Structure formats: C-alpha cells, structure tokens
Chain A
Amino acid sequence: DTAVSQTPKYLVTQMGNDKSIKCEQNLGHDTMYWYKQDSKKFLKIMFSYNNKELIINETVPNRFSPKSPDKAHLNLHINSLELGDSAVYFCASSQAWGSGANVLTFGAGSRLTVL
C-alpha cells in the first residue's frame, strides 16, 4: 500500500502546454506539500496545505496553481509550461503543522520534461 502516491511518474510535453500532477496520501496526515527538485538536486518548497488550507505559498510563478479538494489530496496544475519548469516534483505529507518533529513522507516524484 503506497503511503504517498503521485501520478504521472513521467511527463514529457511541449512548451506552452498545460499539465497536472496528482497526489494522494493514505496516512491520515493533515499537511501536504509540493516540492521542486532541479538538476542540482536542491529541494525547494513550493506550497503547503494544512487541512485543505494554504499555509505556505513560496515565490512561485502564477502559472503554478495547487488545489486540495480534501486533506488526502493535493494536486498541482501548471499553465503555459516553460523550459525552466523541467524538474522532478515531489509531493509529501506530514502528520501535522507546527511541530518541530514533523517528519515528511515523500511520494516517488514526477519527472517533468518540457521540450
């Protein structure tokens, strides 16, 4: 049983297209995240939701829009894709927000390639 699952695992698309990545967790966690990992392997937080409410919204282009229909799901929609959007996008979840010992469980990642 996969704890945090995200689809698709691979996504190859043309510049200018719109695409979505879906994420679901079955851990009963309250908080979910989207991270971007670029070619230099640096993990950068994009968004975080706690019980469906947006709590972290880092400096990310407006082309990126998260949606959390319930606390088990956090989807990421990207409009007008650009070459620089090519990266691995990780979804993660944690038990709660506001705790130091907040261990993240990551999904397997979605590798986005924009041509």
Chain B
Amino acid sequence: GQNIDQPTEMTATEGAIVQINCTYQTSGFNGLFWYQQHAGEAPTFLSYNVLDGLEEKGRFSSFLSRSKGYSYLLLKELQMKDSASYLCAVSDSNYQLIWGAGTKLIIKP
C-alpha cells in the first residue's frame, strides 16, 4: 500500500531551527509537496521537490532523497506565526496526491 509518515507533533522555540521529516512509500513518484495549514484555515503551498537535493525559499528549505524515500522541511529563524500543521504529500505514478497526516508545530516564546 501507499504510505506517508511524519511526526504528529513537534515543539520548538522562537528564533530556533526545526526540521520536520517525511518518509514515503508510494507506487511511483512524480514529486513531493509541502503545505502549511494554520488552525481553522486552508492548506497553502510551500514547496515542491522532484529532484534530489535542497530547495531554499527564504526561511524555508525542503530536501529530497528519492533513493531513501525521504524528505524534510527545514524552518529557520522561527517566528510565532510559523505555528501550524505541515503536510507532506507525494504525487504517485497516476499523479494522485498521497497525503501524510500532518505535523503540528508548536512554537514557544
């Protein structure tokens, strides 16, 4: 079957760095997405990786290793507004998105 695993919850301190991991087992691979979802709001797109390596976008970076079925989202200089759930999703061989259950990130002052 197809599976996406990510930690349920993480806590970090304002100003620090946090890494949210995602491992996947899917039928084929056409890219991996990270979305951010604040409580009570819609998910919003953060990043897309299809080739191995690191993609940097401001304070957020996303890494992919296709051979290991592994990705992480790195958030630097954490701000209180980064408190949200972070969803990992993989596009499979049929271009269907397989979603993880999300990681709830709690930022403490």
By a beta-carbon cutoff of 8 Å, the part of chain A in contact with chain B is 40-45, 56, 90, 97-109
Contact between B42 and A109, CB atoms less than 8 A apart: yes
Contact between A100 and B50, CB atoms less than 8 A apart: yes
Contact between B31 and A100, CB atoms less than 8 A apart: yes
Contact between A40 and B101, CB atoms less than 8 A apart: yes
Which positions 68-86 of chain B face chain A at CB distance < 8 Å?
A: 85
When chains A and B are docked, how far (Å) is the Cα of A44 from the Cα of B45? Answer: 17
Known: A90-B42, A107-B42, A108-B42. A101 touches B96 (CB 8 A): no
B48 / chain A contacts, CB cutoff of 8 Å: 101, 103
Interface of chain B, helix or strand or loop or mixed?
strand
Any A CB within 8 A of the CB of B43: yes
Interface of chain A, helix or strand or loop or mixed?
loop
Any A CB within 8 A of the CB of B30: yes
Contact among A40, A42, A103, A107 with B33 in the assembled complex (CB-CB below 8 Å)? A103
By a beta-carbon cutoff of 8 Å, the part of chain B in contact with chain A is 30-31, 33, 35, 37, 41-45, 48, 50, 85, 87, 91, 95-97, 99, 101-102, 104
B87 / chain A contacts, CB cutoff of 8 Å: 43
Chain A to chain B contacts (Cβ below 8 Å), 7 pairs: A42-B102, A101-B31, A102-B91, A104-B35, A104-B43, A104-B97, A109-B42
- Please give the distance in Å from B8's CB to the nearest CB on chain A: 10
- Please give the distance in Å from B3's CB to the nearest CB on chain A: 13
The residue in chain A whose Cβ has the minimal distance to the Cβ of B99 is A43
When chains A and B are docked, how far (Å) is the Cα of A44 from the Cα of B101? Answer: 10
Contact between B96 and A56, CB atoms less than 8 A apart: yes
When chains A and B are docked, how far (Å) is the Cα of A104 from the Cα of B101? Answer: 17
B101 / chain A contacts, CB cutoff of 8 Å: 40-42
Contact among B30, B42, B96, B97 with A106 in the assembled complex (CB-CB below 8 Å)? B42
